[in-house]
Amino acid sequence: MSVKGIFSGLLALGGVIALVMVLMPPSNEAPLRLVSSTQCFACHADVAAEWQESHHQFAFENPEVRRLSNDFANQECLACHAPRPVLSFKPGERVLARQSERGLGVDCLSCHSHPDGGVGSMNPNAKSDAPCQPRFSERMESVEHCAACHNQHKTVEQWRAAPAELKGTGCIDCHMPEEFRAGGRRGRNHAFKASHDLAALQSAVEMKVGKDGEGAFVTLENVGAGHNFPTDERSRAADLQVRWQQDDGSWGAWIQIRRFRDPYRDETDLTNTQLPSGATERYALPADGDTQSGTAEVRLLYRTNPFLPDDEAKELSRLTLEV
Amino acid sequence: MSKSSSLLLILLLCTGACSKAEQPVPPQVELAWQAVLEQQLQTFAEEGLPEVSEEQINDFLEAMELASEGGQMGARFRTRLEEADSLELSAALLAIVEDREMEAIDKTRAYAWLRVRGDSAMMPRLTLRLKYEKDWVANVDIALALLQHGSGAGLQALLNILNTEESNDPDALQQARFRTMEGLAFLPASDTWQPGNGFDADWRRLLEVQAKWQKHRQLPDTKALKPSRNQRAEVWRTLSKLISQRLRPVDDARFVLVRMPDWVFEAIIETTLDEDRYVREHALQTLAWIGYPVGRWALEQSFDLEGRLQVAISGADSRARLFEAMGASGLSSMQDTLLQWLKDGNMEEMTAAADALLRCAGPEPMAELSAMLTSDMVLSPEARYSLALLFTEVETLAELEVPTGLDSSEAQRRLQWRLEREQRP
């Protein structure tokens, strides 16, 4: 074969290789320029479906947030309810608000987008030639990643002070359990179950009632939260209440025993009454009138905002005691 | 084969290369971050309100209590308070009103003395009391104290008191309304208004003064007071809170800065060049919150606002926030820069540029913006709506369709900007 022939053959081979490179399916697709979390949904539909059910997705539109932030007239609230990518800030530093697609709340790009392109992943074997160019980022599973927002209301500080047996290794242990998805893919759940999930709330505390030489009492123990119960400043509150059965069999009104809450900064007349991780507190059951006898019912209510009426609160526990 | 296959190869390789997404190339402007806050805090380290000890505070508490008595003793202590060093007195009285544990009566006395004897350096810290002080009468004293030092920050509190007819504490409200009506005599006089011509005239004057304050951060018919070095020192201490990782100090600083007279604008603008990303971000945000008064001030002072803000454009971190501040000024001189970034920026920058153009663009770029809107250019729903609003008459704004994916409150914000365009400097 002549030199010219060999050269022509090499050129043709090069042409074929180039053609294959251009037409190659997804794994070798050109890197995606990520501008919106909606670009993630096609390939990660199952994760997106979990996120759609989460309060991260709802962070910007949530009417409770709107009410408490005066419809975001308190603009500092925006930073965590429509954040720029956390990875573009130093670990643990707070985030700042983004300008576009705020309606998506805390979206895929908020947690995953890398400032220099591509996305961060907790998977050490991330397939880096996928269009979104994932790469392992140790920071993704650290508490600092969540602290960018969740420490504004002190939750991460509370976690740092929690006993080791309740701390786990970080936020994701409880709030992003492992998930095995179709096709054998393993990942973390993106529904972020927490204060809006009854089971998650009930796993945090244990209420007991009893009587001894000092009278009837109720105890509440923070058995399952690696942070205070309830956590979050201002917005969350839990109430212990008791009511007594009357002589005619009817029930008296609910009597407040204790409110658990960290007041907001301008509520200067209140102090922090949250129940720290691992702590137990005991309260005497207040009497209805003069006597503390008969049948008592004790309940624990949880409110996602402190002004919610009783009938809109979540009842975490109810116990009866004969005194 | 040789020629055609070479061409094919080049073509194919070129196609492969070109299939990569193009990254926008930002215009190059010189980066010039500076240790603005650090330098200013050093410069003013010896000025401003002094630290006061618990002993000094207790002395002033006792003096105020005794000064409220009649007779010679009362007179003696009133004289003592009147002759006290105004900076030391102001610092002690502010410490009293800022103390959550302090008795209400002591706070009431402290506010009254701040009104009479407070140094102008108290202005930032006293302005912050408007956020936290819930006592009606105290708010009247705060408003009047600020007024005599050239700040209208408390005028809204006076308007609120006069507009409120019901309260859980009607006696306190009644007392505050009475004190407010008395206090209107201290509004700046004009050719057409002097105190003592009845409540209707006073009320109209209050609205006039408030309107001027809102629009210019100046009081009408008043020679602007030159800030003292002590006052400027306190402003820099307020600005230094913008570095905080916790939001409360940042929020407090912004609350104060947006309510200060126009002489603080230059310090805030200077702070947009600080080396700290959070300081820059919040300084820019503060300018954006103040809005058109900054643009008006720049025009009046022939201050090159565009030139000063341009330097910060090289910092990608704060660029979107910078555009927000540029747009909020309402100055059409910003439009060329914004237009360029609307064409060349990433999604965040394009959105911020479109929003800013809604607030500041003059007639010149309208043809180009209109063409963008009808092109296949990829715009966020926010940017698309902002541009569409530019081409919608005020009367037909309600008919403009909100793009899919745009939250209703975000649409409402932009509608508000469209309406405010009529008030551009």
Q: Are B74 and B66 in contact (CB under 8 A)?
A: yes
Q: Give every CB contact of residue A210 below 8 A, 6+ residues apart in sequence.
A: A216, A217, A219, A321
Number of residues in chain A: 323
A129: enclosing H helix or E strand: none
Q: Give every CB contact of residue A246 below 8 A, 6+ residues apart in sequence.
A: A252
Q: What residue ranges do the domains of chain B occupy?
A: 50-118, 229-423
- Cα–Cα distance measured from residue B326 to residue A270, given in angstroms and rounded to the nearest whole number: 41
Complex ipTM tops 0.85: no
Give the residue on A whose Cα is nearest the Cα of B15.
Answer: A22
Q: What is the DSSP letter of A321?
A: E
Size of interface A-B (CB pairs under 8 A): 98
Write out pLDDT tens, residues B11-22: 433 333 333 334
User: CA separation (Å) from A314 to A258, B254, B320?
Assistant: 16, 37, 41
A135: enclosing H helix or E strand: strand A134-136
Task: Identify the CATH class of B229-423.
Answer: mainly alpha
Strands A134-136 and A119-121: parallel
In this complex, the residue of B20, B324, B407 whose CB is nearest that of residue A60 is B407
Write out pLDDT tens, residues B360-381: 999 999 999 999 999 999 899 9
Give the residue on A whose Cα is nearest the Cα of B20.
Answer: A30
Give A-chain residues touching B23 at CB under 8 angstroms.
Answer: 33
pLDDT tops 70 at residue B318: yes
Contact A30 B21 (CB under 8 A): yes
Residue B381: count of CB within 10 angstroms of its CB? 21
Give B-chain residues touching A84 at CB under 8 angstroms.
Answer: 348
Q: Are A26 and A131 in contact (CB under 8 A)?
A: yes
- Cα–Cα distance measured from residue B41 to residue B186, given in angstroms and rounded to the nearest whole number: 34
Q: What residue ranges do the domains of chain A occupy?
A: 28-188, 198-322
- Cα–Cα distance measured from residue A238 to residue A259, given in angstroms and rounded to the nearest whole number: 6
Q: Whole-angstrom distance between the N-terminal and C-terminal Cα of chain A?
A: 106
- Cα–Cα distance measured from residue A59 to residue A66, given in angstroms and rounded to the nearest whole number: 10
- Cα–Cα distance measured from residue B407 to residue A188, given in angstroms and rounded to the nearest whole number: 29
If you search the block for the tokens 């009854």, which residue do you land on?
A198
pLDDT band per the 50, 70, 90 thresholds, residue A168 = confident
Q: What is the CATH number of domain A198-322?
A: 2.60.40
Dihedral sign for Cα atoms in the order B215, B216, B217, B218: negative
At residue A301, the 3 state secondary structure works out as strand
Contact B380 A268 (CB under 8 A): no
Give B-chain residues touching A101 at CB under 8 angstroms.
Answer: 380-382, 405
Give the residue on A whose Cα is nearest the Cα of B380.
Answer: A100
- Cα–Cα distance measured from residue B223 to residue B280, given in angstroms and rounded to the nearest whole number: 32
pLDDT band per the 50, 70, 90 thresholds, residue B70 = confident
Q: Does A12 touch chain B (CB under 8 A)?
A: yes
Give A-chain residues touching B416 at CB under 8 angstroms.
Answer: none
Give B-chain residues touching A75 at CB under 8 angstroms.
Answer: 285, 289
Residue A172: count of CB within 10 angstroms of its CB? 20
Q: Are B272 and B322 in contact (CB under 8 A)?
A: yes
Write out pLDDT tens, residues A207-248: 999 999 999 999 999 999 999 999 986 789 999 999 999 989
Angle at which helix B319-328 crosses helix B335-344, to 10 degrees, equals 140
Q: What is the DSSP letter of A213?
A: T
pLDDT band per the 50, 70, 90 thresholds, residue A264 = confident
Query: How close A19 comes to chain B (CA, Å)?
Result: 6
Q: Does B246 touch chain A (CB under 8 A)?
A: yes
In this complex, the residue of B9, B289, B320 whose CB is nearest that of residue A15 is B9
In this complex, the residue of A15, A79, A152 whose CB is nearest that of residue B5 is A15
Q: Does B131 touch chain A (CB under 8 A)?
A: yes
pLDDT band per the 50, 70, 90 thresholds, residue A67 = confident
Distance of CA A186 to the CA centre of its chain: 20
When the pLDDT of each residue in chain B is averaged and rounded to a whole number, the result is 91
- Out of B247-251, B319-323, B349-353, pick the least confident: B247-251
Contact A76 B247 (CB under 8 A): yes
One-letter amino acid of A323:
V
Q: Is the link from the previous residue into A230 a cis peptide, with omega within 30 of 0?
A: yes
In this complex, the residue of B2, B320, B409 whose CB is nearest that of residue A8 is B2
- Cα–Cα distance measured from residue B81 to residue B56, given in angstroms and rounded to the nearest whole number: 12
Kindly state the tokens that stand for A314.
């979540």
Strands A280-284 and A237-244: unpaired
Query: How close A31 comes to chain B (CA, Å)?
Result: 6
Query: How close B169 comes to chain A (CA, Å)?
Result: 18
Query: How close B161 comes to chain A (CA, Å)?
Result: 20
Q: Does A26 touch chain B (CB under 8 A)?
A: no
Dihedral sign for Cα atoms in the order B97, B98, B102, B104: positive
Contact B21 A15 (CB under 8 A): no
pLDDT band per the 50, 70, 90 thresholds, residue B357 = very high
Instruction: Of B383, B376, B374, give the one whose Cα is nearest residue B349.
Output: B383
